[in-house]
Amino acid sequence: MVIKQDQHEIEDQALAWVVNLRDADFADWEAFEAWLGASPAHAEVYHRLALKDQDLDDVLSALVPAPALQAERRANHRWKWPAIGAAAAILLVGVVSVRLSVAAPEHYQIATRAGERRALTLAGGTNILLNGGSTVTLDRKNPRFAELKQGEALFTVTHDAKNPFAVQVGRDQLLDVGTRFDVVRTKSEMRVAVAEGAVIYNPASQKLMLGQGDLLRVAAGGTVAIRSRVAPDQIGAWREGRFVYSGETLARVAEDLSRYAGARVDVSPDLAGQPFRGVISIADPSRLEDLGPLFRARVQRRGDGWLILRR
């Protein structure tokens, strides 16, 4: 144990903890505790630097996100989805992403490949958790806007009545009146489920208010919207590898699994329409065959993906 340390050395170490603790998946709490406890000067210096770091929020909030030039995908290592805290200080971990340039310079796209997940923090404190195989368009000039091009995203929005957060999904628009909601866009439909607070569907036309636990399904290109109820605490459970179904078809289950597990999951046509009730918890996306008994079917490898078929 070091008895007397040079102040500069302590500052260096404290700074390293400030930086490392900002990683959402930081887990080395015991080492941090040991360092803090080693000398009262450690805690003192850490507190001072950590507060100054927090104070940076004010000046940094106006900075735009990192430029896209270098944020290219360099590896395909898969990240474990980290703890997501409600505390504003907790930032979220990112997964491998590809940024594409689009027409308007202030617009930029963030896409995940199947099986990858990524968390984004926008200015103003809005968090977007992007599920696998999803693409979202953001606006550098307007942090209160996002367009879900495809896939699924869980939005946790800091509400601002004067400047509500808008999500564009195809021709539909969702306007937040509250906090947390999940949006899915597939080729066939758009679904929005509200976990907390409220959302207005198409504020310019239908003006449909969706409250906590409301699930709205709108067929692609259609004008028919179906509203039903869903347990609010199950919304966004995919971020933990958990999926809750109450009679959805196996085709829909397969679609969710494909997005999450990063491999194509198909269902044999005779099973596609079969309803499924239950909770699926995926600890290891490479072992989907374990799900067979749950479906009263067989899940077998086929090429790079999986096929659900009759036993």
Partner 1 sequence: MSDTGLQAVFFANRDRLLRFLAAHGAGDAAEDILQELWIKISTSAPGPVAQPLSYLYRAANNLMLDRYRSARQATKRDADWSEAETDGAGRAQDPVGERPLIAREHLRIVQQELDGLGERVAFAFRRHRIDGAPQKLIARELGVSLSTVEADLRKAYRALIAVRRRLDEA
What's the CA gap between 309 and 38, in Å, rounded? 59
Q: Looking up tokens 């409220």, which residue turns up? A: 198
17-56 positions binding partner 1, by CB under 8 A = 18-27, 29, 33-34, 36-37, 40, 43-44, 47, 49-56
Q: Considering the complex, what minimum distance in angstroms separates the CB of residue 252 from partner 1? A: 21
Query: Nearer Cβ to partner 1, position 18 or 294?
Result: 18
Task: Closer to partner 1 by CB, 31 or 219: give it.
Answer: 31
Least Cβ distance, residue 148 to partner 1 (angstroms): 19
Pull the structure tokens for residue 1.
């144990």
Tokens representing residue 160 in the block: 């601002």
Binding residues among 195-214 for partner 1 as defined by CB under 8 A: 195-196
Element (H, E) at 228: strand 225-229
Least CB distance to partner 1 at residue 188 (A): 28
Residue 210 CA to residue 73 CA, distance in Å, equals 37
Binding residue for partner 1, selected from 10, 45, 95, 136, defined by CB under 8 A: 95
DSSP for 60-98, written as a single string: HTTSPPPPGGG------PPPPP----SSTT--------E
Residue with tokens 């505390």: 87
Q: Based on CB atoms, which residue is closest to partner 1, 32 or 206?
A: 32
The residues in 71-90 that bind partner 1, with binding defined as CB under 8 A, are 71-72, 74-75, 77, 79, 81-87, 89-90
Question: Of 93 and 209, which CB lies nearer to partner 1 in the complex structure?
Answer: 93
Per-residue interface string for the shown chain with partner 1, residues 256-295, x marking contact by CB under 8 A: ----------------------------------------
The residues in 118-177 that bind partner 1, with binding defined as CB under 8 A, are 119-121
Q: Which is nearer to partner 1, 84 or 215 (CB)?
A: 84
Q: How far is the CB of 164 from partner 1 (least distance, A)?
A: 21
The residue among 92 and 267 lying less far from partner 1, judged by its C-beta, is 92
- CA distance from start to end of the chain: 63
CB-CB contact of 226 with 202 (8 Å): no
Give the other-Cβ count within 10 Å of 55's Cβ.
10
* Binding test (CB under 8 A) with partner 1, winner from 63, 161, 224, 283: 63
Residue 65 in contact with partner 1, rule: CB under 8 A: yes
Of the candidates 299, 252, 304, the one whose C-alpha atom is nearest the C-alpha of residue 276 is 252
Which of 9, 106, 160, 240 binds partner 1 (CB under 8 A)? It is: 240
Cα 14 → chain centroid? 30
Minimum distance from residue 243 beta carbon to partner 1 (Å): 13
**The one-letter amino acid at 67:** P
Closer residue to partner 1, CB minimum distance, 62 or 204: 62
Task: Tell me if 132 sits within 8 A of 139, measured CB to CB.
Answer: no
Q: Which of 133, 174, 132, 141 is nearest to 155 (CA)?
A: 174
